[in-house]
Amino acid sequence: MLAIKKQALASASRVLFRTGVLSGLATGAARAYHSKLYKSSDEAIEGVKSGNTLLIGGFGLCGIPENLLKAIARRKDIQQLTAVSNNAGTADYGLGTLLQSRQIKRMVSSYVGENKEFSRQYLGGELEVELLPQGTIAERVRSGGAGIPAFYTLTGVGTQVETGGIPIKYNKEGEVVIASEPRETKVFNGRKYLMEEGIVGDFALVKAWKGDELGNLVFKYAASNFNAPMATAGKITIAEVEEIVPVGELKPNEIHISGIHVHRILKGETYEKRIEKLTLRRSAEEESELPEAMKQRIHIIKRAAREFQDGMYVNLGIGMPVLASNYIDPSITVHLQSENGILGMGPFPTAEEVDADLVNAGKESVTVLPGGTCFSSDVSFGMIRGNRLDMTILGGMQVSSRGDLSNWMVPRKM
């Protein structure tokens, strides 16, 4: 006996017939297919309810499902949500609007960023925040989508990620009332690893550049980021796209996410596509007029850039390190990797080159050099975790003359 999901038993009005859509394949016969197309974001979020866990794609404001988030914000009856997202965007846009409307109970994130409302609610005891390493979130979501209940990783070993005790929720007096739990550990080949569990959401809200009525998705540049793994890990995945194309127009080798993962798709009503940190290339004359503090930062990063050697693959952390892309010796080739999904990152763009789908790990506008590639966040951290890089340039609160790096958590501060 065949078990047929309810979704496949949709009304006949949602089953469309197209002729000739497979003309480029071996069989040119007409094909009947079930359309997953929804008319609006309000219709597409049908079934989302209070207490659900939402996986939300995007990186900062790059590639966020703008219209679906607005639709959730309009539904004030939807409360007590758990939102899994790299961060919460800004206070007045993207996921930040759901914080403003007090619809989120818990955030599972790696970075608070510049969202002051996020920080205020967390420190004020109004919001639960589970902070995790960014690559760990990416892999936990990827694993959840792949049916892997847990995995072991080096990331977090020897820190409070392993031992537990990271504040998840404060009360109004500033006391920790919920803290992270210790992780199970195991030794492989003489090294200790800790266990992380896969994440599956009730709904995944993702955004792509193009899609068809079967749910096949194509991302543009760095907007793949967390969208790709999250699209696979929702019990129901809802995708909004900038353009709906006819079935068959997307070539099989162009598709980034197969429609098997996507249950609902819609053409987004409107797109602002804000850039969180619009950053343009400076001329030598413009640099000479910068404040003295910025000149010192540039001096430091120019020195760091002298460590590059021909052919290196290098990851740049946020802050000062990302400036290194502008000061590479033109006589050598260095492949710069940005953790949000770029390899072959170039310098900051001119005004004409700016693209909202191209930002670096610091959420600044960037370019991609010829031969560069873009991919999802889980693939990016697989490169890092798999020791594919020759060098990483990091920023820190303190660095000793021996290269010891120090970062820390200040109680009740972000």
Catalytic site residue from 128, 213, 339, 364: 339
Q: Is 102 left (phi over 0), alpha (psi -120 to 50) or beta?
A: left
Measured CA to CA, the distance from residue 327 to residue 308 in angstroms comes to: 10
Tokens (6 digits) for 135: 């690559």
Measured CA to CA, the distance from residue 249 to residue 228 in angstroms comes to: 20
End-to-end CA distance of the chain: 56
Tokens (6 digits) for 298: 């540039």
- 247 near 259, Cβ under 8 Å? no
- 138 near 85, Cβ under 8 Å? no
In the numeric block, the tokens 């002729």 are attached to 19
Tokens (6 digits) for 20: 């000739």
- 45 near 72, Cβ under 8 Å? yes
User: Among 166, 91, 170, 184, which residue's Cα sits nearest to residue 130?
Assistant: 166
Beta bridge partners of 153: 194
Residue 403 Cα to chain centre, angstroms: 30
Measured CA to CA, the distance from residue 214 to residue 31 in angstroms comes to: 12
Measured CA to CA, the distance from residue 325 to residue 343 in angstroms comes to: 12
- 219 near 262, Cβ under 8 Å? no
Tell me whether strands 104-109 and 81-84 are parallel, antiparallel or unpaired. parallel
Q: Is 239 left (phi over 0), alpha (psi -120 to 50) or beta?
A: beta
Active site residue 339: yes
- CB atoms closer than 10 angstroms to residue 24: 11
Beta bridge partners of 187: 192
Give the CA radius of gyration of the chain. 22
Residue 401 Cα to chain centre, angstroms: 34
Q: Known catalytic residues? A: 339
